[in-house]
Amino acid sequence: MKKEHKNTDLMEKVVSLCKRRGFVFPGSEIYGGLQGFYDFGPLGVELKNNLKRLWWRWMTKEHENIVGIDGAIITNPKVWEASGHVKSFSDPLVECKKCHHRFKADDITGDKCPDCGGQLTEPKEFNILMQTHLGVIEGEKTDTYLRGEACQTIYLDYKNVLNTTRLKIPFGICQIGKAFRNEVTPGNFLFRQREFEQWDLQWFCHPSETEKWFEYWKEERMRWYKSIFTRPENLGFHKHEKLAHYAKQAFDIEYTASPVGKEMEGIHSRGDWDLSRHSEFSGQDLSYVDSETGEKFIPNIVETSGGVDRTFLFLLLDAYAEEGDRVILKLHPGLAPYKAAVFPLLANKPQLVEKAREIYDLLRKDMNVAWDDRGNVGKRYYAQDEIGTPYCITVDFDTLGEKGEDAKDTVTVRDRDTAKQERIAISDLGAYLKEHTGG
Ligand code: GAP
């Protein structure tokens, strides 16, 4: 029987599952934690790496003219003046005159403190760039920032990429990397953190083609997200009315069923803002010369900038299901931390254990596979369902040939989503799992 769950319950259940099974741990937990920071545990890092690998492969292998970089987190501080973040990357804040708690003005209605009822101040701008200091001698240190958005290094490397590749406009540079924001109200688990990861594509095009490429990338990115979500009908677009300082047009791809915020990725038409500003502040000419026509221009940029951690969270919310007392993570098999789990039917029968070990060692050469010999098979299925393992493989007495030659060297393969079981020859297992999980 399927249980309906309220959305807030769902968030609590996913947070609890993440901690219990080693997907995500609160940052610095033994010291009481640190708001807005999280660590990914053994299963979380596998899921996150699978997710990033899919994105990278899709960007760089399924599209011509896209190359990747991995830029530094700390850049020359002038970068953030040129980008406009020093001046405009801020949130309006209000402070309670009585308890001194601070709130994002956008989150508050009225002029009373939600915590103690005290009078709130007028909104003041609060810059959310995260500062750091370089150098060794106190008083002589240089102030700079951890990058507030990962994409800036792509603009800094744009000329180097052009000079070292054979790319011609239109082309893209992509990157997955950390960004840092001193968020006023971090919260809602991975949704709003102070340290998080972004995946960005910056697409450089002729100004006359900006609209065409904006539409193309908007649809293309939605197509990709739909291919990895369990319930693609939960994805939608949201048009921005209020635009960031660099944007001329913007849409979000949203996870519409989210119990917290919905934004997952921003598709922005950034015009020539970034390259023009970096040209002006660095004194370097960042214009592009068309080798065929000789035309010289500053390319326009269409950006797709998504949150890896938000996608991770939304994928878990989307995949979480309950059937009776059974919890199932119906994750896309290509994302699942383990592609399969191998069990000997009984842990105290050496022949079963030996055969199961053989299979486990064989499969492990190609993919991430779990081993479990605790409790009974039913309990092991439940434990694997909860972490999204698409297939469970059981070695039983038939495998050893006790019921005749036909079933010898075959195993039971049980499907996570349908709970159906089929017999498969050990020699076909590797190919079967590769075909069904992407390896
Ligand atoms: N380069 C453009 C840019 O950074 P953004 O809309 O500010 O645009 C892009 O950020 C994506 O980064 C968001 O859609 C969201 O998924 C993710 N993101 C932004 N702030 C975040 C935060 N505090 N915690 C987790 N993810 C965040």
DSSP-assigned letters across all residues of 257-300? T-SS--EEEEEEEEETHHHHHHHHHH-----EE-TTT--EEPPE
Tokens of 436: 């069904």
Closest C-alpha to ligand 1, atom 6: 266
Q: How far is the CA of 198 from the centre of ligand 1 (A)?
A: 7
β-bridge pairing 90-95 and 102-104: antiparallel
What is the pLDDT at residue 6? 60
Atom of ligand 1 nearest to the CA of 149: 4
Atom of ligand 1 nearest to the CA of 194: 23
Q: Per-block average pLDDT, block size 10, for the chain (439 residues)?
A: 63 97 98 97 98 98 97 97 90 85 86 91 90 90 95 97 96 98 93 98 98 98 98 97 87 97 97 97 97 97 98 98 95 98 97 98 96 96 98 98 92 97 97 89
Atom of ligand 1 nearest to the CA of 200: 1
For the chain, report the end-to-end CA distance as a whole number of angstroms.
32
DSSP-assigned letters across all residues of 211-262? HHHHHHHHHHHHHHHHHH-S-GGGEEEEE-SSPPTT-SEEEEEEETT-SS--
What is the pLDDT at residue 97? 86
What is the pLDDT at residue 433? 97
C-beta of residue 87 within 8 angstroms of C-beta of residue 127? no
What is the pLDDT at residue 5? 56
What is the pLDDT at residue 1? 44
Q: Rounded CA gap, 254 and 237, in Å?
A: 6
β-bridge pairing 263-271 and 249-255: antiparallel
pTM (whole model) above 0.85: yes
What are the distances in angstroms from CA 172 to CA 34, 289, 300? 36, 17, 11
Closest C-alpha to ligand 1, atom 14: 265
Pocket mutation for ligand 1, best pick of 173, 196, 303 (most atoms within 8 Å of C-beta): 196
Closest C-alpha to ligand 1, atom 18: 307
